[in-house]
Amino acid sequence: SCTQCPVNSNTTVIGSASVSDCQCNVGYYMDLAQYVCISCGPKQTTSSTGSTSSSSCYCLGNYYRDANGYCTCPAGNYIDSNNDCKTCPYNSYSTSINSSSCVQCQPGFRTSSKTS
């Protein structure tokens, strides 16, 4: 009888004969010691199916990986209502990571670039 692939994985051909033929879906990587698919985590994905290492995971959009391995929205950006990390518009700024909004410059001041 056939055995199912691990959760969040599939084979790419008919007639596979081994669990090693199972490939993790996009957004997961295979723990080759245990043959389980592990999620890359929030705001992260992989470029294709079949990843076998956490190093295949990358942050989405403008998010970047911090020292703890989490994807955060850097200063100069804000998280919009769709949970996307967006660059602050001209003449506004944010000074902290994961900011929910940008601050308008005071009258008579402006930013020197789009990312501030």
- pTM given for the model: 0.77
| CB 85, CB 102: distance < 8 Å | no
Task: Please give the pLDDT value at position 114.
Answer: 54
Under-50 pLDDT residues of the chain: 115-116
pLDDT at 81: 94
Cβ pair 30, 57 in contact under 8 A: no
5-24 pLDDT per residue, tens? 999 999 988 889 888 899 99
